């Protein structure tokens, strides 16, 4: 497979075809989706392997016109399935539900992509992605770990997350200065959290904004009267998803 690589939007394009195949085959079909959407395919090193998988229909979304033109010429099988635009602004109504998301996420917007995925969590049943190893480890990290953070809690509330493998800098053009990690997210059975979801998101974000402080002090910016409870002398990284749900219910009772 001939691949021409370039860099845009902070993205380093994969040139290692063995790694690309491993990423493509990491899709399990969880949730019974019929379509998989690749974010930022660039020149298609991953796309080619996705098109070989007949379990689902491969779609791509690409913001760069040069890449779109290249894909139209070199991947005729994508005819009618290239979405020209920004995933962060795209509305997935045309995809149907459920669908998978896959890609080599640009390092500088990977967190924004995940928040977008969360917005459509009832449509996105599986995600396989490569991103900066540090971020990948953070997302997959369990409570009690220094890597555990906002995205860890919010994504783990709705997805089962698995760190799959590491990809070295030499697998990219141009090589990044850091290693990359591949993770897989599978939608869990949680349809709705057992608390006020809007408040839950606020509590998690506020708690980790001052993660070195005990929650008694870290949650002060919420402007709520904090009732005495077992979490107040703990730090955000010590709380599981269910702990944050319980804490949110406590705070909601005060709001009422």
Domain residue ranges in the chain: 13-187, 197-255
Q: Are 133 and 156 in contact (CB under 8 A)?
A: no
Cα torsion for 208, 212, 215, 216, to the nearest 10°? -140
* CATH placement of domain 13-187: 3.40.50.150
Mean pLDDT of 54-79: 96
Kindly report the pTM of this predicted structure. Answer: 0.92
Q: Dump pLDDT digits (tens) for 3-35.
A: 333 444 356 778 899 999 999 999 999 999 999
Cα torsion for 238, 187, 24, 110, to the nearest 10°? -50
Residue 181: the pLDDT is 96
Q: Dump pLDDT digits (tens) for 154-165.
A: 999 999 999 999
Strand ranges (E), 107-156: 124-132
| Average pLDDT over all residues of the chain | 92
DSSP letter (8 states) at residue 77: G
Q: Which residues are annotated as a binding site for S-adenosyl-L-methionine?
A: 12, 14, 40, 62, 86, 104
CA distance 145 to 142: 6
| Assigned token pair, 129 | 């992605």
Q: Dump pLDDT digits (tens) for 200-214.
A: 999 999 999 999 999
- Burial class (CB within 10 angstroms; exposed 0-12, middle 13-18, buried 19+) of 219: buried
Is pLDDT of 60 > 90?
A: yes
Tell whether domain 197-255 is in CATH 1.10.10: no
Q: Which residues are annotated as a binding site?
A: 12, 14, 40, 62, 86, 104
The length of the chain is 256
Portion of the chain with pLDDT greater than 90, in percent = 82
Q: How many helices (H) and strands (E) would you count in the chain?
A: 9, 9
């Amino acid at each position: 497979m001939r691949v021409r690589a370039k860099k845009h939007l902070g993205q380093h394009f994969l040139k290692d075809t063995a790694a690309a195949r491993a990423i493509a085959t990491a899709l399990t079909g969880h949730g019974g989706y019929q379509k998989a959407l690749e974010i930022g395919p660039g020149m298609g090193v991953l796309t080619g392997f996705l098109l070989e998988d007949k379990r689902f229909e491969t779609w791509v979304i690409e913001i760069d016109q040069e890449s779109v033109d290249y894909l139209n010429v070199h991947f005729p099988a994508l005819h009618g399935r290239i979405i020209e635009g920004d995933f962060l602004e795209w509305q997935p109504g045309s995809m149907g539900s459920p669908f998978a998301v896959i890609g080599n996420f640009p390092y500088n917007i990977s967190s924004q992509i995940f928040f977008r995925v969360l917005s459509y969590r009832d449509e996105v049943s599986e995600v396989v992605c490569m991103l900066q190893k540090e971020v990948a480890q953070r997302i997959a990290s369990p409570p009690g770990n220094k890597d555990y953070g906002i995205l860890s809690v919010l994504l783990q509330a709705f997805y089962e997350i698995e760190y799959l493998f590491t990809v070295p800098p030499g697998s990219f053009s141009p090589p990044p200065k850091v290693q990359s990690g591949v993770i897989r997210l599978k939608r869990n059975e949680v349809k709705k959290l057992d608390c006020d979801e809007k408040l839950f998101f606020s509590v998690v974000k506020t708690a980790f904004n001052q993660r070195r402080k005990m929650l008694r002090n870290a949650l002060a910016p919420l402007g709520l009267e904090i009732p005495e409870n077992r979490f107040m002398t703990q730090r955000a990284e010590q709380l599981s998803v269910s702990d944050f749900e319980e804490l949110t219910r406590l705070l909601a009772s005060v709001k009422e």
